[in-house]
A = this chain, B = another copy of it.
């Protein structure tokens, strides 16, 4: 994964108010963490936890927050910026363009495109993709082995990684990134127990994603029973997340890996849900709520509330309960002693 950037080139990618301290005259040929960086590498302080590693880092170039007050060593340069992590992202964007350039438009001869599909001449349809009848593909990239179902729509600027499935009638918004193996528009899980068997409830709705949505590898989003399962603008979904039928997720939410959202639940804007958390069905999660990893949400949550635990309670109470649970052995002992001392006094 080779690249070579001059210091000058790096500076052009950073905000204009960058402050340089120290001196480095070679090329930057790698990016590494503070502790593993070697000469020629660029590194950064993005998490306070690693603060003490800056001083001993062998990185030639280090991105630091404005208020960092140490001194670089000989031949090393510190670049102070508002947000080192985001500045690094800007640099990585350039590296990504070099290392993983977007493929050229056009359809690979091995792709199976139905004559009734509408595919933009600006679209890339990679090897062994399937685009079914009535589907629309705007100026998007289908990398390889992707399936786009009947009457589905893939909007401009969207990138479908290998083996993504977009089901019939689903609509993917602009600039989405659907990671390998995710499934958009599988049947919702709906049955009625009639005549001693679970009778399938046909799921005739779809999935709609707004602009700038990311969906992680092997995540699944079910089509609605009717109407739409909906993912709002700018929401980012991690790997192996499960979103059931008729769920609505608001704007700019973060759903971390292995989260599960049950049917018909509505999630507001700016909600953050930690890894492996689960949300029961038919609930409302208010704007800006923060749900800790592993939490089990069984009641609706007010806007701005922080929740933790299984079943979840307000985070402050839950944290208190955790501390006290660990004191239970002591409490039981104290209680036994107290009972005994009272008993013995009564017998006096």
Binding site for B on A (CB under 8 A): 1, 30-33, 36, 47, 49, 83, 85-86, 88-89, 92-93, 95-96, 99-100, 108, 110, 112, 126-128, 130, 132, 144-145, 147, 149-151, 161-163, 165, 167-169, 177, 179-181, 183, 186-187, 189-192, 194, 196-206, 212, 214, 216-218, 220, 222, 225-227, 234, 236, 238-240, 242, 244, 246, 252, 254, 256-258, 260, 262, 275-276, 278, 280, 282, 293-294, 296, 310-311, 313, 317, 320-322, 324-329, 331-332, 334-335, 338-339, 341-342, 345-346
Residues of chain B lying within 8 A (CB to CB) of residue A162 = 130, 147, 149, 165
Q: Please state if B189 and A216 are interface contacts (CB–CB under 8 Å).
A: yes
- Enumerate 12 A-B pairs (CB-CB under 8 Å) in ascending A order: A32-B226, A181-B181, A183-B217, A186-B217, A189-B238, A258-B260, A262-B275, A276-B276, A278-B293, A313-B326, A338-B339, A345-B346
Which residues of chain B are within 8 angstroms of A327 by Cβ–Cβ distance?
332
Contact of A296 among B198, B293, B320, B331 (CB under 8 A): B293
Q: Hey, which chain B residues are within 8 Å of A203, CB to CB?
A: 92, 96
Please determine whether B183 and A187 come into contact, CB atoms closer than 8 angstroms.
Answer: no
CB <8 Å contact, B89 and A150: no
Q: Check B169–A239 contact: CB distance below 8 A.
A: no
A127 vs B1: C-alpha distance when bound (angstroms): 29
Roughly how many angstroms separate A280 CA and B275 CA in the complex, as a whole number? 9
| A88: chain B residues within 8 A (beta carbon) | 201
Number of chain copies forming the complex: 3
CB neighbours (8 Å) of A244 from chain B are 257
The answer to whether A99 and B256 touch (CB under 8 A), given A147-B163, A169-B1, A179-B187, is no
Chain B residues near A220: list those with CB within 8 A.
181, 216-218, 239-240
The 4 closest A-B pairs by CB, nearest first: A186-B217, A31-B226, A96-B202, A92-B202
A30 → B minimal CB distance (Å): 8
* B contact residues around A127 at 8 Å (CB): 112, 130
Collect the chain B residues with CB atoms within 8 Å of residue A293's CB: 262, 278, 280, 296
- Are B332 and A89 in contact, CB atoms less than 8 angstroms apart? no
Contacts A92-B226, A294-B296, A310-B310 aside, 14 further interface pairs with beta carbons under 8 A come to: A49-B282, A86-B194, A86-B201, A99-B204, A100-B168, A128-B130, A180-B183, A189-B236, A242-B257, A257-B260, A275-B278, A276-B276, A278-B293, A320-B329
Give chain B residues whose Cβ lies under 8 Å from the Cβ of A324: 328-329, 332
- Please, which residues of chain B bring their CB within 8 A of the CB of A179? 183, 186-187
Min C-beta distance of A101 to chain B, whole Å? 9
Counting chain B CB atoms within 10 Å of each CB, the highest count among A144, A151, A205 belongs to: A144
Question: Which of B1, B187, B227 is within 8 Å of A204, CB to CB?
Answer: B1
Do residues A342 and B332 form an inter-chain contact, with CB atoms below 8 A? Answer: no
Q: Is the CB of B165 within 8 A of A180?
A: yes
Cα distance A95–B203 when bound, in Å? 9
B-side contacts of A132, CB under 8 Å? 144
> Contact: A242 with B242, CB < 8 Å?
no
Look across to chain B and name the residue whose beta carbon is closest to the beta carbon of A324.
B328
